[in-house]
Amino acid sequence: MRFQARAAAEVAEIDAWWRTHRDAGNLFASELAETLAVLAKAPDIGATGHDPALASVGRVLLRKTQYHVYFRVVADALEVLAVWHAKRQPPTL
């Protein structure tokens, strides 16, 4: 599993925010870790976009924290492209 630089920066920023502003400060990190473990075994569970140019990009919602994880499989490895709050417009990938 690997993170694009953009995704790694988003995860660090989101995690820092949760740890500072929420009583359950580790909720985002634990939910992300659990979801990535599932995706590593079954990457086809995510939804795909409607844009044919993004057909290889999947998306899964972290239900408790309301973040979408955008990902794809490259050479049998999961690659996280972006992590984006569900209330925001989707990122440009």
Q: Domain total for the chain?
A: 1
Tell me the C-alpha distance between 49 and 1, whole Å: 21
CB atoms within 10 A of CB 41: 9
pLDDT attached to residue 76 = 84
Q: Please indicate, yes or no, if residue 68 is contained in any of the structural domains.
A: yes
In CATH, what number is assigned to the domain containing residue 9? 3.30.2310.20
Q: Please indicate, yes or no, if residue 30 is contained in any of the structural domains.
A: yes
In Å, how far are 35, 50, 68, 75 from 11, measured between CA atoms?
Answer: 13, 25, 11, 23
Q: Identify the bridge partners of residue 47 per DSSP, sorted by sequence position.
A: 59
Per-residue pLDDT tens digits for 18-45: 999 988 889 999 999 999 999 999 988 8
For 77, the domain range is 2-85
Stated pTM of the model: 0.86
Q: Say if strands 67-74 and 77-85 run parallel, antiparallel, or are unpaired.
A: antiparallel
Q: Please indicate, yes or no, if residue 75 is contained in any of the structural domains.
A: yes
At residue 52 the predicted structure's pLDDT band, cuts being 50, 70 and 90, is: confident
Tell me the C-alpha distance between 20 and 76, whole Å: 36
pLDDT attached to residue 10 = 96
